[in-house]
Structure 1
């Protein structure tokens, strides 16, 4: 099973009701656990025993949730408000998720607007869905849906090395024959970043906070869609070239250790490399392709032919041994060959 996250866009009235329901859900779950602790066994209760203004579907789920957590941890207290629905209580369409909330004193299955990328909707539509969990993260309500994943065995023996960057989002090189593919348009991505940065600056002067949040959400959706398409292209390229393993750079901490300054450092901090890496990983696993994370130190400086290190000032790599290639291709090739 894997969990997909979807951003919800409830109306003010719906958001107020979600807040009330989630707090009451956790309160009732804590009541059951406290009773179980006092009686030294979990009480036999049904939805009829819970006197609370929440839908029966939620009452049944909170009983199951409290019982499982008490069995797992014994004495425990739930603090974070949430909601949980089984797969019979909700449905998903291209623009909304429908689940029961209270309206005019009655439980009613209500459509809550949701931001669902096309590729994710295709996955949800073709899968048997698990439980739905509703939580609030910062200012946003999020839906988490568990989806079963099939374990596939890919018999490819090759290795694809992938170098991630800013000017060129990704370069893939097949270790066996050096076949190379450049993915994405870094200049277009930088243009989008600059565009939305300028919009935020203008809106900030006008003190339009809600408009800035809307702009941030729109930019995130665009970049997420770009990363989904890039990751699919990379994984497809690996499968087409019989690569059963993808080598990716382990870029954790790159923002903290980078010595870049000014504009380049700002670009690095807005670079969604972690999201792209995670998309590549889960799409690869769906096809049975293994993902290995490689230390990226000196991969763009080391000559693949003689092993010497050379500092590179532009996009072209030159070595005294006569080897020359695009700097990102050199990095991807070294990543592919790293064990």
Structure 2
């Protein structure tokens, strides 16, 4: 019998260290990680995930209880930015612009705030996931120490080599190298650099692997066995897949969004701040194009822009209108399959084995 390919052996050892049978991880997508999707991935030996950005502590605990018996999982939080400056005149212009796409909004539409971060962190401690992950920065040292005291691993999402080194220095047990191909929000530590520092995974991954001593998880633009095997060959210890699971029935996203993903070519996505104020990759819909037009006002910072667009986004979902929908999508969206999540995990794993014999 021939020996296991070194890349495959490394990935299997990393997976086993976290109680997984397969080094295939569901990305923690805020608003698109219902328990059913994680459970389906976990039952096939992968890692479940929750993007808890918008969840109150009680909801975080309820999510963890709903998936716990299926296996290991991670819960992810954004590291908060400083409170943004408000500009009433600018917001009024944005409300007028957005009124072309959705219901009229009151002057206080941008007043909403995310859940209390400190309370969310307490919920993570109580929920006891195998892994707590971060995006948009690094957890405070005192919280990292509490995680380590309880045997909870910390994975830090990074988008540059400099961020990876900072995460390792801060005590991260692994780093998730997020390439610019990834759907949804870019994890740059500094919001202003999310577009100018958009490095593709093929360049980012080997550079991060060479720079750090901790294991590296690959994320961004991976939706089939070819991409997963390539990431392992470039030094990743596991792969994290987001958009590749969104067409699965367990994800429960609006049908118009799921259909749009299936039709998308890589060039049919683009980076935009038009939904939340933070840079993310979306399908290049009519609203996204209009928001990038020369007559469009610049988006407000996060979370003000998110509040301003809430009515439009909700109306788009209710009406099944992809043109105005917040339809996050990675550049490999067209590879996503409309099959049960377990089949996606099994198919990718079998394909990796065939490619790395």
Structure whose residues are more often strand by fraction: 1
Above 0.5 in TM-score?
no
Q: Give TM-score, length-normalised by structure 2.
A: 0.21
Higher RCO (CA-CA < 8 Å; seq separation 6+): 2
Q: Give TM-score, length-normalised by structure 1.
A: 0.22
